[in-house]
Structure 1
Amino acid sequence: MQPKLIALDLDGTTLNPQAQITSKTKIVLKKAQAAGHLVTIVTGRPYRLSANYYDELKLKTPMINFNGALGHIPHFHWKKEYQKTFPREIISELLDQKQKIGIKVIAAEAKESLLIDQPQNLKSNFFPAQVSEQQILKKSSLKSDPAAVTLLVEKAQETKIAHWLKASFGSYVNVGVWGGDSPIIELEPHGIDKAFGLAYLAKNLGIKRQNILAFGDEHNDQEMIEYAGLGVVMQNGTSALKKAADEITPLDNAHDGLANFLQEKLQLD
């Protein structure tokens, strides 16, 4: 069997509903690597919220964060590391329009930086509850362009805000609306998605497209699922994403769906 590049989304895919990696998942991924396959994380999460999972799996491969905007090897200087950004002036405009259009919290991030405007009023675990004075987002603190911006918005205004963002900044950013209960909108550089990051990794790791297995469950996984030689959607994935799947796991992320699928597909017993 040709070595595969196994690309893993985190939330809803590799992680169970308690945001944990199960023992079986760890064992199967370790077996996959021992068999010569490469395992990589391709996530919308920032580095600060994914490094622990990378270390838990004892990976050495490059990792993709911010839905494709950052490609790097944690704890190591990789000469081919990249980070895509968009103009910080967009954030200035968001700060100006925040109250008018229904934005509650704005967080701007890059690999090693985080700025957030209201850490004391958060209602999503994605945002830090406490930050230093230097991490408070203001126009004066915007010193560099972000790789990603995450917005907590008024639920009733979510669709309206997403349309406004696309109309105002669509040539500079991709606008993604999260599924689930939290009304969160994320911005990444225009034209950048998980497929971009995955293709970059595959090229630099010498893996052909047909030998890529990608796993996901949400809207931000679609380009990656469509790009991979085998795009696998979790049983708990969205109906829209399942339409793009080559295969769907018989079990969901609460029942080791990823691990069981890989174990059978790659004959890892």
Structure 2
Amino acid sequence: MYKLIACDLDETLLADNKQITLDNQQAIKAAVARGVHFVPNTGRSFLTVQHNLKQLGLLQQKNEFVISYNGGAIVENYQNRVLQTQPMPFEVVKQLFELGISQGCCVHVYTLDRLYIWNINAAEISYITGRVNNWSECQRPTMDFLKSAELMKIIFLLPVEEQRKQMRQQVQTSFAYPMNITFSSDRYIEFNSITADKGQAVLELGRRLGIKPAEIMAIGDNGNDLPMIEQAGLGVCVANGKEFVKQAAGYITQVDNNHGAVAEAIEKFIL
């Protein structure tokens, strides 16, 4: 039996209206009642999912967890106790930041507990509102004020896939520091430490809980979900997921994120 479900949020658990459908809520609560850990595994901060945890009955619960920043942090829900982080060096993030700013990108820099955004536009505000709140909009093209912060990841808004591919190639050829570079939400290129990905993090959480990889189910839709889908005992791709993710998954849901894809997987393999 699967003892832990690691689940992406945007375009997987959340419908396009940014809400958790009722059937997803019911299925997750039923799985948790059977002793299964339901772990949001997201590129976002753990602080942005507190209302989702409340909906699922997991808010401030001991021995329940969130994986944040594409595996950059593992956090226990009770008192938001940080168990592990995989930060990036300031100089690497600064060099990436200067590259993004020089090319006119909207740039997001995540510390452990804050999000700072440069060059934000109306479309980006519309997309992140309800997903990521309480960000700080920065006007000056510098991040030197974050020199002493724990930097979890940096992302660029590049809505065209070819732009994301070109940027990945540019960074891979010009940076000596090894990075985990992924795409998400058909709009972002994300940069993490090479030690931070959703797969490594969920396996580490499993080790801490005495749960084997074969006892983990991972559900996602995009490139940053691929490591956990490949490494879990069962990798699930939602129907609206990317084709390359579907190819790596052990199961593809019949329905998409707007129609209870997570509930479908839970009901089929756990309930």
The aligned runs of 1:123-162 (5 Å cut-off) are 123-124=123-124, 125-126=127-128, 138-142=142-146, 143-153=148-158, 155=160, 157-162=163-168
What residue ranges of structure 2 are gaps of 5+ in the alignment?
A: none
Indicate the structure (1 or 2) with the bigger Cα radius of gyration: 1
Partner of 1:166: 172
Quote the residue 1:109 is aligned against.
110
- State yes or no: 1:228 paired with 2:232: yes
Deviation at 1:122?
A: 5.2
Q: CA deviation at 1:214?
A: 1.0
The correspondence of residues 85-124 of structure 1 with structure 2, limited to 5 A, is 85-98=87-100, 100=102, 102-119=103-120, 121=121, 123-124=123-124
Deviation at 1:204?
A: 1.0
Q: Which amino acid aligns with 1:41?
A: P
Q: How does 1:167-246 map to 2 (within 5 A)?
A: 167-169=173-175, 171-180=177-186, 182=187, 184-246=188-250
Q: TM-score, normalised by structure 1?
A: 0.86
Residue of structure 2 in register with 1:35 after alignment: 34
Provide the C-alpha distance between the structure 2 equivalents of 1:258 and 1:97, rounded to a whole number of angstroms.
Answer: 37
Q: Does 1:66 align with 2:72?
A: no
The code of the aligned residue for 2:234 comes to: L
State how far apart, in whole Å, the 2-side matches of 1:56 and 1:49 are. Answer: 13
Mapped contact 2:46–2:75 kept (Cα < 8 A): no
Over 3 Å counting, the alpha-carbon distance change for 1:96 and 1:231 in structure 2 is closer
Contact 1:194 1:223 in 2 (8 A): yes
Tell me the distance in 1 between the aligned counterparts of 2:122 and 2:6. 31
2: CA distance, partners of 1:99 / 1:114: 16
- What do you get for the CA RMSD once the two structures are aligned? 2.6
CA distance in 2: counterparts of 1:48 and 1:35, whole angstroms: 26
Name the CA distance, whole Å, in 2 between partners of 1:238 and 1:257. 14
1:171-192 Cα shifts (integer Å, max 9, x gaps): 3422223352x3x211111132
Structure 1: runs of 5 or more not aligned: none
SS at match of 2:155: strand
Matched position secondary structure for 1:123: helix
Q: Which amino acid aligns with 1:219?
A: G
**Structure 1 pair 130/72, CA: closer, same or farther in 2 (3 Å)?**
closer
Tell me how far apart the structure 2 counterparts of residues 206 and 136 of structure 1 sit (CA, whole Å). 47
TM-fit CA distance, 1:217: 1.0
TM-superposed CA distance for 1:118, in Å, is 3.3
Query: Does the 8 Å CA contact 1:175/1:187 hold for their aligned counterparts?
Result: yes
The alignment-based identity, stated in percent, is 28
Residues 157 and 3 of structure 1, relative CA distance in 2, 3 Å threshold: closer
